[in-house]
Structure 1
Amino acid sequence: MDDWILEPSVHSMNTENPVRETVSSIKLPTDFPKPTYSLALGDPSYYTDFAAHSFVVDAVVETLRSGQGNGYTDSLGYGPARETLSRAYSYDNIRLTKEDVIIDIGGTGAIHTILQVFLNPGDNILISSPGFPLYKTMAQNLKAEAITYNLKPFSNWEVDLEDLERKVTPRTKMIVVVNPCNPCGSVFSKEHLMDILNWAERHHVCILADEVYHGMTFGKPHYPLGSLTDTVPVFTVGALSKMFLVPGWRCGWVLIYDKYNKCEKYRPAINKIKNMLLHPVPFIMQAIPKIYENLPQNYFAEVMQKVKERAEVVKAKLADVSALNTGTPEGSLYCMVAIDFTNMDVKSSVEFAQKLAHEEGVVIMPAEAFLSHSAFRIVLCHPIHVIEECMDRIKSFIQRHTI
């Protein structure tokens, strides 16, 4: 019999997730004499202090037990859930209807749907550095390009507008703005967001507003981009995942803020894409109205108070380490720490992370996983005593590797 020649597609082999692939190179020793910790896992459900609230779980249990959530529904998502989200995220400047809401398979699925609708081969999107790397993965899969623009570490990770101006091209279809920010833990001011909107209007570039951490702040208010403009089309991505601490439920959405219908041609295209992969599990979608109806008034404040306490521990513990700069964390579940390697015998954040894991039993996420360098991300969900212990070990590591 002739030998079979079987080769995977170029498409599949060109698919890379920088987060997973970077973390796989960071190994904890198997015989470490002290407890080991990972500050890299961005799944809040893993940590005991960030378990899903009972009102969220009860809403899903009720819909599942009703027997009504076991079949297919509209490919754009369960109608009453879309109506709930349209009311929850309407603002004085623009009122949404359910036709402006598409429910998708997690926030990542929502991002993928929008990029499929916007990008042709050879087009590009602008994404931040540091930033969420799957935008680059998805763009490359569509034979498009993801061009990074810089965030400024010593200006609390604001957008470098001059760099942004250099990066835009005639084939730029969209700019991605992540706020509150993963991985940086920053929250943009209203004034800074207006600068970004003015830039987008001047260049006629639509915005993909990644607001998966909507309202999850503790240092300053969160201004949703859709609430600040009448003239720039904004496609906002949200999800149950981080706001309600249930990332495994895989239920996200797109909100279309397009008051003057400039993106009219994109709507039937979205319908076509959604007819291919349909929707999240129905009993999760059907719980959305009840989740928002029963949302405790102080829910987000209580969750973010826990994050704030951990951020303050990180900032205080590392304040006297000249090689590190934490900035001022203000939201999401993370803190990005910039590294100055000038007086160290370690010369990259990947090497920093690898040696820290080996010598101190602590795993952090190097900035290379987020399309950047000379920094690392900390997840602010561990118990406070663990955060304290890990910061002490990082300080010991810095002292040992300072020339």
Structure 2
Amino acid sequence: MSDFWTCKPSAKALRTVNPIRAIVDKVVGGPVVERTDGKERIPLSLGDPTAFGNLPPSQILTEAAAAAAHSNKFNGYVNACGTPSARAAIAKHYSTEHVKFTSDDVVIASGCSGALELALTALLDDGTNLLVPAPGFPLYEVIANSHGAGVKPYRLDPATGWECDLENMESQIDENTRGILINNPSNPCGSVFSEGHLEDIIRLAAKHKLPIVADEVYGGMTFGDVQCVPLSTVSAKLGGIAPIISASGLAKQFLVPGWRVGWLTFYDTPFGAIKDVKKGVMSLAQVVLGASHLVQATVEKVLDPEKEEDIKAMADFKTQLNETLASQSTFTCDYLSSCHGLRVVRSSGAMYVMVEVVPSLFDGSFTDDVTFTKLLLDEENVFALPGSCFGAPNFFRVVYCAPKEKLGEAYGRIKDFCERHKKMD
């Protein structure tokens, strides 16, 4: 009898697979070859606004974290659903003339992704499904599959600025559908839905008696006159016809993705359509025992500052961040639109843009988005994620958070690449 043995992983662990990995391996896989052209790698792939160090968080936030750490008041365990002060600040921040949240409507989690996991775990069972956007963030599918559930993608239409194809969305609904996930502003598209479009989505959800899970982590990151209206506000203005579970956090809007504090807010119908789901989320929160107590101590400082100078400082921070991202979005879209064989769907929020590759306009060196991004990496050392990672074949996603001079260098290489591989008549 052998002395060697292995432990069997759970079915949930075996079901938990990120589909991006297999696609990215096709781009970055293979032997490492030392470059002789002197081109350093420029990553346009990672959705981390802090990656290049040019977008620091607000001093209000960092000073609040330092003060909390030095106070020794935030070292212990807290309520699994969050501290009273942080939950109250979140409730106040998202309340409007149409929606009045209380602390009981808020659950704090370990990042927005942790908040989404709580929400979807409370909604999905084995054999059920969730409607998700395509293109869309693959985490939704990862979470659903881990629970033995599935996802049914609905189409976002590039011809309408990535609005939902509502007819296609409705066609995906069946007796096992537990909810509709809406990501606004969008990762990977950078699109922001109009209030009228959100109204149409809510009416469809209400028609089929489905809750909406709203991933609004980029909610404050919009450009110019474009505004992201929270789905809870839109539903309330329609009479509360559909319940909304909204997810957000500090990560992107406040430039601290590594601090890992996110939250859910629950907006229910007058008849309590999701009251049991909210109870379920609060029960599930006991498994993790809450997000960082230290970081939660900073939440009220940025969402609900008391001093006039702090209110102004946070407003200035948000304005400066959005103006920077808007400028870099315009620069990105203008530059890449000038490249042979590329078509850009302009972004109006978040920090992404999707670029279409038209293979028929090139010399046959690549046939799709995966082979395009691999050859681009091999020849120019510029790394962008293939659209197939997000359910968008023949597109690639660009993250434009890098300093403008670094973006310009990357886009210059992309332009050279496209010219070099241009199909000759």
2:344 alignment counterpart: 326
2:395 alignment counterpart: 375
1:402 aligns with 2:412: no
One-letter identity of the residue aligned with 1:246: V
One-letter identity of the residue aligned with 1:2: S
2:379 alignment counterpart: 359
Deviations 1:320-368 (A, max 9, x none): 3352221221010111112222223221111111110001110001111
What RMSD, in angstroms, separates the aligned Cα atoms of the two structures? 1.5
| TM-score, with structure 2 as normaliser | 0.91
The one of 281, 287, 301 aligned to 1:276: 287
Report SS of the residue matched to 2:252: helix
Given that 1:121 and 1:144 are in contact with CA atoms closer than 8 Å, whether structure 2 keeps it comes out as: yes
Q: Quick one: distance in 1 between partners of 2:246 and 2:166?
A: 21
Change in Cα spacing, 1:378 to 1:244, as seen in structure 2 (3 Å) is same
2:245 alignment counterpart: 235
Report SS of the residue matched to 2:120: helix
Q: Quick one: distance in 1 between partners of 2:396 and 2:341?
A: 12
Given that 2:340 and 2:418 are in contact with CA atoms closer than 8 Å, whether structure 1 keeps it comes out as: no
Identity of aligned residues (%): 32
1:251 aligns with 2:257: no
The one of 106, 109, 113 aligned to 2:111: 106
1:16 alignment counterpart: 17
**Distance apart, 1:259 and its partner CA:** 4.2
Given that 1:153 and 1:338 are in contact with CA atoms closer than 8 Å, whether structure 2 keeps it comes out as: no
Change in Cα spacing, 1:61 to 1:347, as seen in structure 2 (3 Å) is same
- Paired residues, number: 403
* 1:249-328 equivalent positions in 2, closer than 5 A: 249-260=259-270, 261-292=272-303, 293=305, 294-295=310-311, 296-321=314-339, 323-328=341-346
* 1:14-53 equivalent positions in 2, closer than 5 A: 14-27=15-28, 29-33=33-37, 34-53=39-58
Given that 1:18 and 1:369 are in contact with CA atoms closer than 8 Å, whether structure 2 keeps it comes out as: yes
**Distance apart, 1:318 and its partner CA:** 2.2
**Distance apart, 1:218 and its partner CA:** 0.3
Q: Quick one: distance in 2 between partners of 1:273 and 1:355?
A: 45
1:138 alignment counterpart: 143
Q: Quick one: distance in 2 between partners of 1:32 and 1:135?
A: 41
Q: Quick one: distance in 1 between partners of 2:388 and 2:36?
A: 26
Deviations 1:367-392 (A, max 9, x none): 11112211011111111111112112
Q: Quick one: distance in 1 between partners of 2:338 and 2:300?
A: 48
1:181 alignment counterpart: 186
Report SS of the residue matched to 1:326: strand
**Distance apart, 1:20 and its partner CA:** 4.2
Deviations 1:253-303 (A, max 9, x none): 000011412212122211210111121110101111122213522222210
1:80 aligns with 2:90: no
Q: Quick one: distance in 1 between partners of 2:220 and 2:339?
A: 31
1:222 aligns with 2:225: no
Unpaired stretches in structure 1, ≥5 consecutive residues: none
One-letter identity of the residue aligned with 2:394: S
Q: Which stretch of structure 1 is more off in the superposition, 93-102 or 284-293?
A: 284-293
Unpaired stretches in structure 2, ≥5 consecutive residues: none
Given that 1:32 and 1:361 are in contact with CA atoms closer than 8 Å, whether structure 2 keeps it comes out as: no
Given that 1:200 and 1:207 are in contact with CA atoms closer than 8 Å, whether structure 2 keeps it comes out as: yes
Q: Quick one: distance in 2 between partners of 1:32 and 1:387?
A: 22
One-letter identity of the residue aligned with 2:12: H
| TM-score, with structure 1 as normaliser | 0.96
Given that 1:94 and 1:259 are in contact with CA atoms closer than 8 Å, whether structure 2 keeps it comes out as: no
Q: Quick one: distance in 1 between partners of 2:392 and 2:343?
A: 16
Deviations 1:146-194 (A, max 9, x none): 1111111122111111211211111111111111111111111111111
Given that 1:104 and 1:278 are in contact with CA atoms closer than 8 Å, whether structure 2 keeps it comes out as: no
Report SS of the residue matched to 1:44: coil
Change in Cα spacing, 1:12 to 1:395, as seen in structure 2 (3 Å) is same
2:408 alignment counterpart: 388
**Distance apart, 1:86 and its partner CA:** 0.2
**Distance apart, 1:314 and its partner CA:** 1.4
